[in-house]
Amino acid sequence: MKRKEFIKRTALTISIAQLPLFGESNDGKEKENITSDVTSPWLEAEDLEDYKTLVSAYLTKPTELKLQGNWSVGKMFAHCAQSIEFSMKGYPEMKSSLFRGSVGKIAFSVFAFKNKMNHGLEEPIPGAEDISNTTEIKIGAKRLLQAIELFSKTPESSLRPHFAYGDLTKEEYDVAHTLHIKNHMERLLN
């Protein structure tokens, strides 16, 4: 067996063996603080169009939004926008092609199947410009709206690979971005 083939098989075997871990929170602490019995339109959104509608409605009739943790709502909105923007212009740092083709693909498949993503909710996108925690909610919300609008107009052939999941179709990217936003909105306080 060639070395490259051995490495790919080993990585795939290890990633499959760890599949149950993808359903768990990264540090265990975040999951304890999240209330799952709260119904919110922010958690029921099914695609980016739903989030576009929710953010637009928020901007026309602002209500108080607060998140658990250290990130402000404005920073969180801008962070989600930043991820969508990178899907169109390219992510600043990429995981290895081996990771993207194995572990990353499996992680995305599990998240899409479960319709739920779990990731470090206060971790910046690798290599991305830092977003100030003082970003105003309206500024972050407008940036997110602009990113969603631009994404909707971008042809699939212009999309760039995800830093961890690799090449995604436009529909898969919509799922990834929607699950990303939804995961952050799980920290929304009433």
Would you kindly state where each structural domain of the chain is located, as residue ranges?
3-189
Mean of the pLDDT values across residues 85-97? 97
pLDDT given at position 17? 42
The whole-number average pLDDT for the span 125-150 is: 96
Q: What is the 3-state secondary structure (H, E, C) of the chain?
A: CCHHHHHHHHHHHHHHHCHHHHHCCCCCHHHHHCCCCCCCHHHHCCCHHHHHHHHHHHHHCCCCCEECCCCCHHHHHHHHHHHHHHHHHCCCCCCCHHHHHHHHHHHHHHHHHHCCCCCCCCCCCCCCCCCCCCCCHHHHHHHHHHHHHHHHHCCHHHCCCECCCECCCHHHHHHHHHHHHHHHHCCEEC
pLDDT, position 66: 87
For residue range 99-118, list pLDDT tens digits in order: 999 999 999 999 999 999 98
Q: What is the mean pLDDT of residues 69-94?
A: 96
Residue 73 CA to residue 59 CA, distance in Å, equals 13
For residue 53, the model assigns a pLDDT of: 95
